[in-house]
Chains A and B, each alone.
Chain A
C-alpha cells in the first residue's frame, strides 16, 4: 500500500534563497507526524508543496499516490493553515457549507457534517454570530472544523492549538486522536513541543531546509547510557564512590548515573548493595523533545546531520 504522504528529494529555491534543500520523507496511514523546526526552516513551504500551492524546483511529492498539483490529489485532504483568516461575513454554518461545496460534498452531507462539527467544537451557541465577532479560540476551532469537514484521509495542521485555552487544547488533542483511530494520517507543524510529544507518533526536525533528525518520539527521546537511581538513604556526598558515578541527587533523592552499558549497570548496582544501600528506584532516562529540538536547532552541523533521512 502506498504511504499517504511521500516526499522524494524535494528542493525549493526562491531565487538564490534555498527553502528546501532536498527533503525526503514518508508518512504512513493512521500516523500522527510532527514536523518541527525554527521559523524559516521550510516547514510551511513543504506543506504548501504537498498541497499544490507552490511548485517544487526539483524532486517529486505524492499525496495518496497522486502527484501533487493535480486538484484530485486534494480531494481527501484537509488543511488548517497557520494564521488563517476565515472570511468575516460568514457564520460558522455558512462557512462550512461553502467550503464543503468547494470540496464537492453533496448538500445533505454538508449540512449534517456542519451541524455535527459545530456541536463538537462547541460553537453551537454561536450559530448566529458572524466570524468577525469570533474570539481567536473560536476562529481556531472553526478552522479545525473546516479541515475535518469532508472526513479527509490526510490532515495538514499548522499550529492546531494556537490561541486555544488548555481545556480546548485537550479537546482538540482528543479529536485528533479519534481521527487517527479512524485511520487518518495527520501531519502537524508546530512549535508547541509538549503538544507534539503528547500527540505525535513520529517527528522530523527540519533545519535550513534539511531533515536533521527523524524517527519515533520514543526512539528520539530515549537516551543511551543514563539511568535514574534512588536509594533507601542519601549517599554521602563525601564518598569517592558516589562522586565517581553519581550526579548530585534531586529533591526526591534521585540521582542520574552515567554508565557504558547494562553490564556496567549490574556491576554498579551490586557494588551499591555491597556498600549497604538498598535500591528503591531505577529507571532508564528519557530526554524531552525540547532537549532534542534545542540540540538540533542550535548545534551547527553536528555528527548526526544528514542531508536527508529515510523516515519510517
Chain B
C-alpha cells in the first residue's frame, strides 16, 4: 500500500513538472488573468427604479400572482385572478433609516427604504375591505420573490372614505431579499468608457448571470479546457514513446497504474486551475455587483467532468496511436462531434415541438402583450418534412441518445445560476421542468470516460513495447 502511494506520488510529481513545462499553459493563464483584470473594471450603477417596483408591489396586491408565468399565462386568465380592488401608491419618498448621505437627500437605489402612502379602492359588490396585517405580509411579495419588506404600517383611512370603499396606509418599507437582483443597473467597462447595457439598464441578477457564464464557462472555461486538453494529450504518448517507456516498465508497477496515475494527476491539476478560474469569477462578479450567489461554483464540477471525458478520449487515442498530435486532434474532434450533434439535436427537439403545436390555437400571453402584440398568434402551418421524421433526424436522435450530453452539463450550472438570480415561484418551476437529465449529462459523461480509460489500459497492458 505504501509502495502504491509512493508510486502515485511520484507520478503526480512527474506530471506536475510536465504540466508546468508547457509554455502555452502560462500564456493562457496570463490571458485569463488579463480577462479578469478587465472584468474588474466593470462598474455597476443602480438607476432610479424605486417608484416602479413600489408600483409593481402595489398592483400585485390586487391579484393572485403566486403561480404567475408571463410566458404562458394569458391576459384573460389574469383578469380572473383579480380580487376586486385597485391599489396604488399615492406618494413615495426615499428615506434612510441608518444614515443620511452627505447632501442630506437619500438616493433612489436598491438599498434605500421608502416612506409610502398606499391607497386601496374596493369595487362595489365584488370587492372586500382589506385588513392591515394582510397588507403588511403581502406587500412586496411577487410570486415567491420578496421585493419589499414592510417595516412599519399604520392605517390612516378617513371615516368617510372608508364608507366609499377607500382605504389608506402610511408605511415604511425596506428593500427585500430579491430587490437587488431585479434592480436595473447601468453597467460600464473601463470606468464608464464602454456601455454594456441598454439605456434603461438591465436587472443586476441577469447581468451577473451573463458575466459569470462568460468568464467561467464561456471564454475562460473554453480557453482553459482547450489548452488543458492540448497539453495533457501529449502526456501519455510522451510516456509510452520508445526509450522512455522502458525506463518506467522496469519499475515494480502495473501498467494500468501508469495510465491511471497520469489520468488522476492531470485531473487534479486541471481541477485546481478550474477551481481558480471559477473561484476568481465568483469573487470578481461579487466585488463588482455585490451579489454572492454561489451557484457558479458548480461550474467546477461540470467543466471538470467534461475535461475528464476529453482527457480519457485523448489517453485512449494516445495509447492507440502513440502520437501526441493524433491524441490531441482526436480529443478535439470528439469535442466537435459532441457540439455538432448537440446543435442538430436541438433542431430535432424544435421540430417535435413545432409538430405538437401545429394547428392548435395559441392564446395571447402576458409575455406577448409585453412585446406589444395585441392579436393571438395564428396557428402554425404543418411542416412539409419535419426534421425528426427524416433519416438524418433519426440518426441524430439515436446518436445523441448514446453520446454524453454536454448541454445537460451546461444546464446543470445554468439551473443553479438561475436559482440564484431569478425570483422564484412559477418561474423557478418552469426553469426546473426544462429538458434536463442527470443521466444524460453526468451519467453518460462518466460512462464514456470510464470506457475510454479502460480501453486504454487494456490496449496498453497487452501490447509489447
Once the chains bind, are A105 and B252 in contact (CB under 8 Å)?
no
Given contacts A99-B251, A101-B9, contact A85 B21 (CB under 8 A): no
* Cβ < 8 Å to A, chain B residues 8-45: 9-11, 13-14, 17-18, 21
Q: Which residues of A contact B2 (CB under 8 A)?
A: 104
A48 to B7: give the CA distance in the assembly, Å: 21
CA distance A74 to B10 in the complex (A): 17
A292 touches B (CB below 8 Å) = no
CB of A71 closer than 8 Å to a CB of B: yes
Kindly list chain B residues whose C-beta atoms are within 8 Å of the C-beta of A143.
Answer: 247
Nearest CB of chain A from residue B433's CB, rounded to whole Å: 50
A44 — nearest CB in chain B belongs to which residue? B246
Q: List residues of A (152-208) whose CB comes within 8 Å of B's CBs.
A: 156
Chain A contact-residue range equals 35 or more
The smallest beta-carbon distance between A154 and chain B, in angstroms, is 11
Distance of A105 Cα from B253 Cα, bound (Å): 13
In the complex, chain A residues whose CB is within 8 Å of the CB of B464 = 48, 53-55
Within residues 86 to 106 of chain A, which ones have a CB less than 8 A from any CB in chain B? Answer: 86-87, 89-90, 94, 97-106
**Interface 9-residue window, one of B221-229, B235-243, B282-290, B407-415:** B235-243
Contact (Cβ within 8 A) A85 B243: yes
Size category, B interface: 20 to 34
Among residues of A, the one whose C-beta sits closest to the C-beta of B243 is A85
Q: Is the CB of B10 within 8 A of A84?
A: no
Q: Is A75 an interface residue (CB 8 A)?
A: yes
Given A54-B464, A86-B247, A89-B18, residue A99 in contact with residue B10 (CB < 8 A): yes
Q: A48-B465, A54-B465, A104-B7 are in contact. Are A84 and B249 (CB under 8 A)?
A: no
Quick check: is A81 within 8 A (CB to CB) of the other chain? yes
Cβ of A24 to closest chain B Cβ, rounded Å: 22
B248 at the interface (CB under 8 A from A): yes
- Residues of A close to B465: CB separation below 8 A: 48, 53-54
> Can you sample 30 A-B contacts with CB below 8 Å?
A48-B246, A51-B250, A52-B249, A53-B246, A71-B253, A73-B252, A74-B250, A74-B252, A79-B250, A81-B246, A83-B242, A84-B243, A84-B244, A85-B241, A87-B244, A89-B17, A90-B14, A90-B17, A94-B17, A98-B10, A98-B13, A99-B247, A99-B251, A100-B10, A101-B7, A101-B13, A102-B248, A104-B2, A105-B6, A146-B247
Q: Which residues of A contact B (CB under 8 A)?
A: 48, 51-55, 71-75, 77-79, 81, 83-87, 89-90, 94, 97-106, 143, 146, 156
